[in-house]
Each structure stands twice: as C-alpha cells, then as structure tokens.
A = this chain, B = another copy of it.
C-alpha cells in the first residue's frame, strides 16, 4: 500500500516501526560511505601493471617522452582515444591527470581571450550565463560559480537535456554562452543523450554566435550491461549543421585506469584544437608524456580499453544490482521514491518525496552513512523541491553497499512517514 493512502493510525504505526528500525541501525554504529563516484580498490587493481610501465621511453617517431615538449600529447595515445570517441586524431589532444582542470582552463580561456569564434573575451560581456541540465554534476556547477557565470537550469530527461526548453532560451539571449552535458550515462541520472537530442542541440539557432556545448563524456565507455551504448557523434553533427566549433569535448581515463593518475582528453574542431593549444602553449611546455606512453603500452589499442572496461563492469555491476534490489524490495510497495536503473556510469539517482531529501541525508548521517548532501546535483546545491539524492555505489565492497542501502531505505521511509504524519 502506498504510504500516502494509509490512514492516520496506520501511518503512526508505520512510523513507529521504521523509527525502531532506525534506532537499531544507529545502535550498529555503522560507518559507510556512498558519497563520491570513486573507483574501488579492486577496480584500481585492474591497472596495477601501469605502476611498472613504461618499458623504454621513446614514442613511435623516436621522441624521448622524458623531455619537454609535445603540447598535444603522445600521438599514439591520441589515436586510440580518437578511435574510441569517434573523432579524427587532429581533433583530440591528450593532457594531464584531470579533465576537470581542462574544463576550467577552457572556461578561463573563453573568459580571458574569448572562444575560437567569439567577438571578444567573455569577461567583456555584461553577463555570461550557462544552461545547466538538472540534476547534474556538482563540480560543473562549482566551476561556473567560481568564475562568476550565472546558471539557468533546464530538466534532464532520459534522452538527454530538454532540447526544446534550451532552444527557447538560447534563441534570443546572447548572454547564454554555453551549456553542460554529460551525454552518456549522465551524472547522476544515468540518461543517455540520443542522436536526435544531440542533433537538436548542435543545430538550434543561438543568439550568441559563440555558443558552446561543454560535452563532458566522462562515462563514454563505462557500460553496466553488455550493450555498449554509443555516444552521439557530436562533432560530426555540429559540423553537419554548420556549427563546427560549438562542441568542446572532454574525457579522461580517471575511471578507466587510476582516478588520480589517468590522462585527460580534449576534443573539438581542428580550429578549436588550434585555439586551445595556442593558449596552452603559453602556460605549459607539454603534458606528462611518460604517463601517455604508460597508458599506450597498457591498453595497446582501442579494443584494449574496451576489454578493460568489461573487467570494471564485472566488479561494479553487482553493486548497482544490489542498489536496485534493496530499493525495490524495501521501497517499491510504499510509493515514496523513484529511482533509475542506469545502464552505465557511476551513479543512481534517487528521488524521494518533495521536502524530504535533506532529512534522509540527515538521518543517514546519524546512522553513520555518508551520503552526498541533498541538492548537490543542483547549482549552488539548491534543489528547489528538496527531493533529489545521488547514490554512488562503486567504492564500497558489495556487502557494504547492501548494508548502506538497507539503511538508506529505512531513512527514506522514516522521512516519508514523518512528512505524511505532519501533513495529516
């Protein structure tokens, strides 16, 4: 029976039962963590060979990778990820250990110098605004906030950002300079941006002549099922619709090899690459090409990456399955939450009754379960309905995922029963 249909006395009894369960939970003194999308030690172990690579120190063209230079990164590694991301090798460069930093640098270049197709630096505009599909990735929002860029939210659908809403916003407002998308297995909704939505975003008229799609393909290869969803070919779509410089594409091996010591990639039109590298050359003499060679020797080729990702799937898919099992068994009958069953990525998006997300997180904390702060998936951490919670089950061992999710379910039920009790 849905909780909302219970009588007042049924509700009271239900709340009592759940509070007892919660008290027992607290008494267990758990210390579990579902906050961050971090790989587990078992996943990191898959790349242990990297620690004793590379053998030798020469690139295919004889370049000594130990020395300075090579702003675009090791060509052979760029070739692998060009293949995987469906771009040309001259449309991609390999950088340091963090795609987040590359995103920041891209924004700073736009602010200080303007994008490749800007009339002037963005900092000379009266106002710069970005469209943020929500729920979305908190660090994207923090970047914008720290740079004084205003955020306008639009809904994230299961097919990607709400393209119609975006088209309506951007057509007359030149202050809207860009938007975020995590196109494949979005953080946190798991949504995959369809070819149709991507085509709508690349072709829509924008008042800003230099409108940018920040296409953060962080989970492009992070499949949780045997069906390996292909990302929309954003660069080709953009070129075909006459806006070749609109997308700037980010990716990394942070959740493929080592989260702290992977390789980040930046892709775009050849002109966008030249623009980026032109500014990059002022602040860098080149990336860590030894780490590039290390990754090249480890992967060997694009299939090496795909095979490696299948090993990740074998480790983390059971954890995601456990999240689904517990949520379904514990919450299904009560109609107090909805959640997605992602086909890839790192997160499960849990929507609870409006006004209870913060309470769930608070209750969980009281029971020793660390959850991402409610609202984290919204700009400024502000979820207008206080209903969204992001779950990250990759890091803990599966038995801890089970225990944590059982606890989360109890907290959701307590918060929901409290809410309905107060309302009646």
Mark A26-51 against chain B: 1 for CB-CB distance below 8 A, else 0. 00000000001011010010010001
Interface size class of A (residues with CB under 8 A): 35 or more
Interface locus among A229-237, A255-263, A404-412: A255-263
Interface locus among A156-164, A215-223, A240-248, A286-294: A286-294
- With both chains docked as a complex, state the minimum distance between the C-beta of A252 and any C-beta of chain B, in angstroms: 11
| Contact across chains for A258 and B143 when beta carbons are under 8 A apart | no
| Contact across chains for B261 and A66 when beta carbons are under 8 A apart | yes
Instruction: Specify which of A41, A69, A283 lies most central, judged by the most chain B CB atoms within 10 Å of its CB.
Output: A283
- With both chains docked as a complex, state the minimum distance between the C-beta of A140 and any C-beta of chain B, in angstroms: 11
Mark A91-134 against chain B: 1 for CB-CB distance below 8 A, else 0. 00000111011011100100111000000000100000000000
CB closest chain-B residue, reference A142:
B282
- With both chains docked as a complex, state the minimum distance between the C-beta of A36 and any C-beta of chain B, in angstroms: 7
CB closest chain-B residue, reference A70:
B260
Q: When chains A and B are docked, how far (Å) is the Cα of A289 from the Cα of B148?
A: 30
Give the residues in chain B near A291, CB-CB below 8 Å: 261, 288, 291
| Contact across chains for B98 and A284 when beta carbons are under 8 A apart | yes
| Contact across chains for A100 and B284 when beta carbons are under 8 A apart | yes
CB closest chain-B residue, reference A50:
B290
Does A285 count as interface, using CB distance less than 8 angstroms? yes
Instruction: Specify which of A39, A66, A112, A282 lies most central, judged by the most chain B CB atoms within 10 Å of its CB.
Output: A66
| Contact across chains for B68 and A44 when beta carbons are under 8 A apart | no
Does A424 count as interface, using CB distance less than 8 angstroms? no
- With both chains docked as a complex, state the minimum distance between the C-beta of A136 and any C-beta of chain B, in angstroms: 16
Give the residues in chain B near A139, CB-CB below 8 Å: 285
CB closest chain-B residue, reference A47:
B66
Does A147 count as interface, using CB distance less than 8 angstroms? yes
Give the residues in chain B near A287, CB-CB below 8 Å: 97, 260
| Contact across chains for B286 and A260 when beta carbons are under 8 A apart | yes
A68 with B36, Cβ < 8 A, contacts A96-B97, A112-B147 known: yes
Q: When chains A and B are docked, how far (Å) is the Cα of A105 from the Cα of B108?
A: 10
Mark A261-280 against chain B: 1 for CB-CB distance below 8 A, else 0. 10000000000000000010
Does A52 count as interface, using CB distance less than 8 angstroms? yes
Q: When chains A and B are docked, how far (Å) is the Cα of A298 from the Cα of B369?
A: 39
Give the residues in chain B near A96, CB-CB below 8 Å: 96-97, 288
Q: When chains A and B are docked, how far (Å) is the Cα of A54 from the Cα of B108?
A: 34
Q: When chains A and B are docked, how far (Å) is the Cα of A97 from the Cα of B39?
A: 24
Contact of A66 among B259, B282, B284, B285 (CB under 8 A): B259
Does A67 count as interface, using CB distance less than 8 angstroms? yes
Does A64 count as interface, using CB distance less than 8 angstroms? yes
- With both chains docked as a complex, state the minimum distance between the C-beta of A392 and any C-beta of chain B, in angstroms: 12
Q: When chains A and B are docked, how far (Å) is the Cα of A229 from the Cα of B112?
A: 40
Does A361 count as interface, using CB distance less than 8 angstroms? no
Q: When chains A and B are docked, how far (Å) is the Cα of A68 from the Cα of B43?
A: 13
Q: When chains A and B are docked, how far (Å) is the Cα of A328 from the Cα of B419?
A: 89
Given A47-B66, A103-B283, A104-B283, 15 more pairs with CB closer than 8 A:
A39-B67, A44-B57, A44-B66, A51-B54, A66-B260, A67-B259, A69-B260, A96-B96, A98-B283, A101-B284, A104-B284, A105-B283, A108-B108, A146-B283, A261-B291
A-B contact pairs, 19 of them (CB 8 A): A38-B67, A38-B68, A44-B57, A44-B67, A51-B57, A52-B52, A69-B260, A98-B285, A101-B283, A101-B284, A104-B282, A104-B283, A105-B283, A108-B112, A113-B146, A143-B283, A260-B290, A261-B289, A291-B291
